[in-house]
Chains A and B, each alone.
Chain A
Amino acid sequence: MSGVRVLVGTRKGAFILTSDGKRERWDVSGPHFGGWEIYHIKASPVDPDRIYASQSSGWFGQLIQRSNDGGQTWAPVDNKFAYEGETGTHLWYDGTPHPWEFKRIWHLEPSLTDPDTVYAGAEDAAMFRTTDGGQTWRELAGLRNHGSGKLWQPGAGGMGLHTIVLDPSEANRIFVAISAAGTFRTDDGGQTWRPINRGLVSKYELPDPNAEVGHCVHHIAMHAARPGVLFMQKHWDVMRSNDAGDSWHEISGDLPTDFGFAIDVHAHEPETVYVVPIKSDSEHYPIDGKLRVYRSRSGGNEWEPLGKGLPERDCYVNVLRDAMAVDSLDECGVYFGTTGGQVYCSADGGDRWAPIVRDLPAVLSVEVQTLR
């Protein structure tokens, strides 16, 4: 019997939601690590019982938790994230140099092939990797030491490396996104990196159209069968690349607003893309209080609103960048969590939605495991 396990990180702990393949009845487990911020929780694709969680707090700093039994029990692993070598500086909000300071891990991306290898995206922006199941972490310093690093500047939410996408067709190719530096790619397993932001335009925040870095990329998504095609929700603008990030073009098309955070791709249809339009950078909630997912079945530009089962009025939540995911059951399930504590599921690719839970703490991240 197939089923799904939804891993939810919130402001006050982690929750694990499980269901069978129908995705109608749910068991809710949690809070795990109650009272702690769980920025991200994600399982190994090769060992579904191996789950990693980023646990942090303003008081007590960063911990990483690991489960070997599908989230039933947890044990802390190493929490020492030390920048390699000379720490150096990036730009502060006022444009002055500011030393790199570790704050938290935003995102954990387990390897596609090895359950003991995990990539971790940090604030201040850096990439770390463990190859021993979290017992030790080492920085892939080629990213932070990229020549542009001294020019990176935090966005309003900090200077976090929040997105890590592993290319299933080329083991040494990794994409990352950093607020507000932009998107970067390595083709040698993380030794060297280069910015891939050509075509991104932020005419007010970044007047120079040729700026190599400084772009406020909110999230990127890829379909495993088409790894050269990337979809991006930028601060404003929904973007697409057909050449592994070498160039980007806008696909916002007929969206009612192209501001937003989350973006994802259907599990079986590489040209079906989901976003959650948010009113503006000043008003982080849906237009007119109507929560809507928008779906494009043409790889962008033409979008349809999906609202059946979602709030029709008085809804003023946000959907954060890591809070959308898809399962890979025959009929693709789509999931997202809100800052109002709801986690919604559509078991039919977005046509109809139902809340799994309504009253969790603010949701920071949603990941889904398809269990067979």
Chain B
Amino acid sequence: MLPILIVFVYLAAVLYIGIFAFRHRGGREDAEQYFLAGRAVGPYVFLTSLFGTHMTAFAVLGSAGHAFGNGIVTFGLMASSTALVTPVCLLLAGTRMWALGRRHGFLTPVQMFRDRWECGHIGTVIFAVQAALLVPYIVIGVMGGGTALRAISNGTIPYWVGCAVVALVVMGYVFFGGMKGTALVNAVQTTMFLLVGTTAFFVIGQGMGGFGDVFAGMLENPMEAALLTRERVPPRYFFSYMFIPLSAIAFPHMIIFCLTAKRMTHFRNTAIAYPLCLTIIWLPSTLLGVAANHATDVPAIQQKLEARAALAAPAPDLTADERHALRRQADGEDVVIQLLHHYAPIWLAGLLGAGIMAAVMSSDSQILALSTMFTEDVFTHYDGRMRFGEASQVRLGRAFVVLVTAVAYVVALRVPADIFSLATQYGFSGYAALSPLVFAALFWRRSTKWGALAVTLWSAGAVAAIAWFQAAVPAPPAGSVKVIWSVAGLDLLTRTPGGTAVLGFAPVMPMVLVSVALMAVVSLLTRPPSEATIARYHAPARAASGPGPSPDGTALGV
């Protein structure tokens, strides 16, 4: 009972922070204040809120769950790849978008795309695809909250109630506090999770008799020793995961957070600290997930191991429903919480449970981003603000926050996929395929709106095709693959237990490469924007004709 009480006190505190931000905004209701915190976020809040919004439930529950089933490969697959790619993207593209946002007053990435490529409706198409891809990411947060609350309360709070509580708290502080409330809450949550996550790691390790003994014991058992290697993930699949972190710079909520920094130097500190923060969160999560395989004295974990063994055993008489039920039972998403229950003192379990809630409740910035995008890219673009005024824009943004949260809640109750695969296969892969939009807009003078449209339609189509494929072709049993399309002995398309593989690579890699090719070919075949527009974004090319007139007189020279 005590742990869940501590968690509810924490949730109340988080809600208060959002309302506190609302009260201290000085009565201003303009869009830039509500949606971007007045572009005045300081260095510490910028780092922690940007990092917090990137690391959702999937970083904690999903990574431990993935490590529980696949071993130490989880860290290299997602954490160390992100440690390189995301900070480089922040230094390269984040700084430039920040500067463009300041100069031209952009609040969303679509505003920049519309201006850069002189387009209107194509921007609306980009908005629609971005919004559709963002929903799974929001759902992850709600699902993570429901899973965590159910586990922390030992099943007293049902999943649907847990999801509802998290959705209502997040909706509350986003509704009242806007970006200022969201950034403050994210900063508190990230700080809390960094601190208590480390504590949880050591307390559980001590409870299990020391990680040294646990891993030495695992080495003695061939099945468990395999989890201390990366043999459960093929090298090609591992390589293709380097493309997943490109999604960070294409996520609208990440771009919108980039626009909130008070100074550009905030990016420097953030880029340097990012790999360190990643290590602090992902290393304990991975180790705890792997070590959970040895915690057979925890009944809930023992049941998961039995379900996994039943799935792996040859059992042709298992129905699809039975197989699905076993897969759900074998899911490792709540193993960290189960370890906490078993090994930590009850008061600490409550505090650490609140820390876990802090990490999983990061769907706030995605909800706010969707609201910002809708009001700016649709309402304002189609003259809504001109007709109804700026105050109505903020009111509409708040109404949209309520609507999006309600939809995410309903979807969270109906979606069966586990957190990790849901995140990587739909949200992350789709946004990684959209990342050429950002780089082309910022760095390639010759890019065109038709190239952008081709990339957007391809990304949406590819995600839809993967979703359809995985729904139509049931996953094979663990440890096997189902070859769907093979040419001359080459397996072009395979259905794996966790998803899909194209030539052995995760779908994200061909998706990104095709996006790059489409942007290049279609842009070269179509007419570029006017010289005046290009000159506002790029330094004039040497030996070319001089820059055209610019509304503010200077080129940004990105």
Instruction: Please determine whether chains A and B interact with each other in the same assembly.
Output: no
